[in-house]
Amino acid sequence: MTRFRIEKDSMGELNVPADALYGAQTQRAIDNFPVSGQPLPEAFIRALLLVKRAAATANNELEQIPAPMGDAICQCVDELLASDFMQHFPVDVFQTGSGTSSNMNANEVLATLASHRYGKPVNANDHINCGQSSNDVIPTSIHVSASMALAEDLLPTLQHLVQVTRRKADEVHHHVKTGRTHLMDAMPVRMSQALHAWADQIERNITHLKQLQPSIQSLAQGGTAVGTGINAHPQFAAAFSRALSTHTGITFTPAENFFTHIGSQDIAVALSGQLKTTAVSLMKIANDLRWMNSGPLAGLGEIELQALQPGSSIMPGKVNPVIPEAAAMVAAQVIGNDTTLTVAGQSGNFELNVMLPLVAKNLLESISLLSNVSRLLADKAIATFTVREEKLNEALARNPILVTALNPVIGYMKAAEIAKLAYQQNRPIIDVAAEHTDLEREELERLLDPATLTDNTSRP
């Protein structure tokens, strides 16, 4: 049987599991919010604990708590983060909109641990939460967790995707394929041109994400309850940002206006919007890969993706493009997360946004999903596909759109007539053009060379 102890808060007494590090307010949240069974993301809880560590350091510096107590709090955070800490943070995502339950969860856990280490009582509100409010702690933790996830995970992974894609582009540069617009045959392109376009898409996303970093690294901490900074030392915000920057290696700054950072989540919405754009880019790349790999007999069959697993429980030998499919699903989820986060961002009622836990969950989930699937797309799809040269050449030879290159010589209408004939007769365009123009075969070979047609600068 579970053993309990009696804990007390401002609303009275209640039972808490005897071995739990948390206290009464966390237990109330567990009882009140049996909604999803999902705690807030680990990255968020890690950031929340780092916020408590930086607050203790700042309060030490400003002599708001005894120095040994502040040191004990910092040591407890370090030890907690080195352990399986999520077991101590069970509060559901769908809780009070300010995230107060999660803030008090952290305060209570650290108060328990620090009291043992310090040898005297450490109070969850008066000491761990000194100079703070849930209303600035939770928005700050959102920014800190997103900043760390961007710097440590997503941006390096996207850069890896760019490097792998450009390296593959160099490998396949000599391959020329039929270009397609409207999913219909168009002028030829080099395989490398398609891949460099993908890389450019991702590089633009990297640029735009980096442009948002200074904003997401600005913090609400110091604004306390409504933005006025009540109960915080006047120098607390600056000391807090210094301590956090030193510990994480990321440059954090106090918000220019605490009211904005507490009452709205516009910066998180902007970041989510850019994550959505990144997802759209990945969806495009994933679908291009799926189309190019389609078949192999009845589809385009231009490339062959690495075979990773059987594709059917009933059709032997079937292999599916599983990595691009996973990437497409991630993209769909991130786009959905952005819609949810947009609605959450509208919920800033006067001095406080009241969907902060949902903002944290969706923002961090999007970053994590994009980070994980981008590496898979790079290493298990783009880096490893092979080109089916015979399929490329077969389609190129019969592509009637090549006649476009003859427009300046024979005119659009004559070229259209030749294209129609070539399509009707299923013959190479060069053979039909040789019969219906006065151009020499050698001249036609020069004008209709698919490789030459991929580079306008190489033609007179």
The residues annotated as belonging to the active site are 182, 312
Burial per residue of 293-325, b for 16 or more beta-carbon CB atoms within 10 angstroms, e otherwise: beeeeeebbbbbbeeeeeeeeeeeeebbbbbbe
* Alpha-carbon separation of residue 301 from 149, 385, 436 (angstroms): 38, 12, 32
Cβ neighbours, 10 Å, residue 412? 12
* Alpha-carbon separation of residue 22 from 6, 35, 39, 123 (angstroms): 12, 20, 15, 12
Written as one letter, the residue type at 11 is: M
Residues 127, 73: Cα–Cα separation, whole Å: 9
How many residues in the chain? 460
Residue 291 structure tokens: 């189309």
CA-wise closest residue to 252 among 268, 238, 266, 235: 238
Written as one letter, the residue type at 253 is: T
Q: Are the C-beta atoms of 262 and 223 separated by less than 8 Å? A: yes
Residues 178, 392: Cα–Cα separation, whole Å: 7
Residue 39 structure tokens: 């705690």
Residues 405, 407: Cα–Cα separation, whole Å: 6
Per DSSP, the residues of 402-437 read GGGGGHHHH-HHHHHHHHHHHHHHT--HHHHHHHHS
Cβ neighbours, 10 Å, residue 387? 17
CA-wise closest residue to 19 among 8, 30, 5, 33: 5
Q: Residues 6 or more apart from 104 whose CB is under 8 A from it?
A: 25, 26, 29, 124, 134
| Residue in the block written with tokens 């007539």 | 417
* Alpha-carbon separation of residue 195 from 61, 163, 179, 190, 455 (angstroms): 53, 11, 13, 9, 16
